[in-house]
Structure 1
Amino acid sequence: MFARKNRAEKTADEAWEHLSHAWSAAGESAGRAGERVSSVTDEALARAGAAADALAGRRPARPWGLIAIVALAGLAAGWAVASAARAALERQAEEEEAELAETAVVVTPTYDDH
């Protein structure tokens, strides 16, 4: 039981060190860049925020925008596949109908005069 606590404390300490380093790196980058915030600073701040959230026990937010895009792409792909399948079935039905028309035997009644 103590080993788990020590491992958890060690992990928390390492995470805190990473968080502190990320915050200081972000601060230094922001100080050097002045008004402009570079993508490196944004990444450092995002990582530091994620580390702080993880230490606080908060789960990361779901990427709803990405989920919506994937869902729309799935719907579009499903619609395309369904349309292609429907067209193939219609083509097959037309071919079968044409084949039946070609091979059909027309029986005409004959009237014998007796």
Structure 2
Amino acid sequence: MFARKNRAERTAEEAWEHLSSAWTTAGDSAGKAGRKGRRLAARAGDRVTSVTDEAVSRAAAAADALAGRRPARPWALIAGVGLFGVVVGWAVASTARAAIERQAENEEIELAETAVVVTPTYDDH
């Protein structure tokens, strides 16, 4: 029981450290970008936005972890993989069906070529 509590405390401490680090990094990046000239501001703005977005994302994940909430399932990814599986399955089934049909046609042609046709002959005997 104590090991579990210690593990939870360690997880909370690590999450807090990540959260603090992410906000500090976002603040430092924003401060540096603010001191640059107008010419560099546009490029730095994109960088700050991405860093800030990452910091907010990490902060939200850390807050969720501290609150005991599990991350959401990536439904778009799951649906995409499912759709990909359906397309691949359809392609494999179509290819297999075409191969079976070709094999049946080849066997029919081979049987027709090797078949012995017996024709009756009418002798006057």
Same fold (TM over 0.5): yes
Partner of 1:45: 56
**Structure with a larger share of its residues in helix:** 2
Distance 1:2 1:73 in 2: 46
User: Where in structure 1 do 4 or more consecutive aligned residues deviate above 6 Å?
Assistant: none
Q: TM-score with structure 2 length normalisation?
A: 0.77
Q: Which runs of 5+ in 1 are unaligned?
A: none
Partner of 1:67: 78
SS of 1:38's equivalent in the other structure is helix
Equivalent AA in structure 1 for residue 20 of structure 2: S
2:107 corresponds to 1:84: no
Equivalent AA in structure 1 for residue 116 of structure 2: V
2:92 corresponds to 1:110: no
Q: 1:99 aligns with which of 107, 110, 116?
A: 110
Q: TM-score with structure 1 length normalisation?
A: 0.83
Distance 1:3 1:75 in 2: 46
Higher mean alpha-carbon deviation, 5-14 vs 91-100, is at: 5-14
User: Offset at 1:8?
Assistant: 2.7
Deviations 1:52-84 (A, max 9, x none): 111111011111111111111111100000010
TM-align CA RMSD: 2.1
